[in-house]
Amino acid sequence: MTAAAGPAPGPDPARRRPANPFDFAKAEGNGIQDFIRTFAVAVRLGWQLEANWTDPFLFFIYSVAKPVSSALILVVMLEVIGGDAGRAFRPFVVVGSALWAFVVSGIAGLAQSILEDRERYRTLKYVYVSPSDFLTILIGRGVARLGVGLAGAVITLVVGVIVLGVPFDPATVDWPLLAVVFVLGLGSIIAVGLLMAGIVIQTRQESWQYPEAFAGAIFLVAGAVFPLGVLPAPVQVIGLLTPLTWWIAGVRRALFVDGPGSIGGDGTVFASLSGHLQPSPEEIVLALLATGALATLGAVAVFRISDRRAKQAGLYDRTTGS
């Protein structure tokens, strides 16, 4: 029997190398469109997780009770001591504690998203391997919580003006300064939130309280409810290097142009470095820009390192108990 002449055995070469084996363009995505869609879905998901567990009225009560109570604690502390110093301080602490409620929401939002998805819903690994950008999802989730925090801060300010007698005149507000520092500060808050997200990727379930504990530590150096001048000089320096200090000072300056500032004053580190008592609006914006850029770069670096280590150590699908 002779072998029949013909093509060599095996699959048809044309089948082995199809003309169009894989459309790489499909894996590249649609750039900015994908980003916007991912971000919008993440914000919506974050909002649903935050808000759809109850009716809107109860949700409103829950959202404002915490920041309003924080402000009331400080107001009663001032009243207990009484005197002119206490009364003069009231607008200072009400505005500071309202702004701080917003800061805490921003710092906690991203980290809580990681913890919720990993420990509670156990979906973090699926979210991570989805085609969407992980960082975009995280920031989207954090923005939803920032929205809740902003509502709490605004209500606290309204309560401060109407109930606690904080003098406020919209005509005297420096709106351009408010807009600029608010946008820059928002970036800084998200950066600190990203830093905390990078940290809680590495830690276990008990890290639910870590973001708020971290925010509480910054509370000491940010001049939120007392001027930096009462702190020891080295701690004042740490405060001056923190973008949130400049953000709070900027918002306070924009809302109450002639009100007491939190950064400068007699004998402060700022006064000795700059040669004048209070920072000008331009100095506040520049300092916020510089410290915010540093904080953002640092936070992104920490998050990237943490992300790499989490992948190597299998931390994205690790759940813990206590």
Partner 1 sequence: MASSIDLVGRSGAGPRQAADWSRRQELMTDLRSVRGRAYPRIVGLMREPSWVLFEILLPFLSTSAFVFVYRAIGAPQAYVGFVVLGGALTAFWLNVIWMMANQLWWEKSQGNLELYFAAPMHFMSILFGMALGGMFMSSTRALVVLVIAGTVFGVRFSVDQWALLISVFVLTLGALYGLGMVLASLFLVWGREAWHLGQMMTEPVYFVSGLNFPVARLGFLGALSVAFIPLATGLDAMRQLVFADAAFPVGTPAPLIEVAILGVMTVVSILGARWMLIAMERRARRDGRLSVRWQ
Select the residue interacting with partner 1 from 42, 43, 78, 159 (CB under 8 A). 78
**Whole-angstrom distance, CA of residue 268 vs CA of residue 289:** 22
Q: Which two tokens stand for residue 312?
A: 């190597």
**Residue among 72, 178, 289, 300 that touches partner 1 (CB under 8 A):** 72
CA 253 vs. chain centroid, Å, equals: 22
CB of 95 to partner 1, least distance (A): 14
Binding residue for partner 1 (CB under 8 A) from 74, 107, 146, 190? 74
Token pair for residue 171? 């005509």
When binding is defined by CB under 8 A, the residue of 39, 89, 102, 270 that contacts partner 1 is 89
| Residue 177 near residue 250, CB atoms below 8 Å | yes
**Pair 284, 292: CB distance under 8 Å:** no
Can residue 219 be called a binding residue for partner 1 (CB under 8 A)?
Answer: yes
Map the footprint of partner 1 across residues 12-51, applying CB under 8 A. Answer: 49
Work out how close the CB of 85 gets to partner 1 at its nearest, in angstroms, rounded to a whole number: 4
173/302 with CB nearer partner 1: 302
Which residues does 155 contact at the CB level (< 8 Å), separation at least 6? Answer: 63, 64, 67, 68
Q: Which of 59, 256, 288 is nearest to 157 (CA)?
A: 256
- The CB-of-220 to partner 1 minimum distance in angstroms stands at 4
Q: x/- contact string, 102-141, with partner 1 (CB under 8 A)?
A: -----------------xxx--------------------
Give the nearer residue to partner 1 in terms of CB position, either 8 or 85. Answer: 85
Residue from 5, 14, 32, 85 that binds partner 1 (CB under 8 A)?
A: 85
CA gap 102, 142 in Å, rounded:
12
Per CB under 8 A, 77 contacts partner 1: yes
Give the shortest CB-285-to-partner 1 separation in angstroms: 26
Structure tokens at 284: 């506040």
Instruction: Supply 10's token pair.
Output: 């095996």
Q: Which of 129, 167, 206, 301 binds partner 1 (CB under 8 A)?
A: 206
Return the SS3 of 322: coil
- Does residue 313 belong to the site contacting partner 1 (CB under 8 A)? no
CA 179 to chain centroid, in Å, comes to 17
How many residues bind to partner 1 according to rule CB under 8 A?
51
Report if residue 216 touches partner 1, rule: CB under 8 A. Answer: yes
Residue 225 engages partner 1 in binding (rule: CB under 8 A): yes
Cβ neighbour number for residue 206 with a 10 Å cutoff? 11
Cα distance between residue 57 and residue 95, in whole Å: 25
Is residue 245 within 8 Å of 228, Cβ to Cβ?
A: yes
Q: Using CA atoms, how far apart are residues 201 and 309, in angstroms rounded to an integer?
A: 9
Contacts to partner 1 by CB under 8 A: 49, 53-54, 62, 65-67, 69-70, 72-74, 76-81, 83, 85-86, 89, 93, 119-121, 199, 202-210, 213-214, 216-217, 219-220, 224-227, 230-231, 319, 321-322
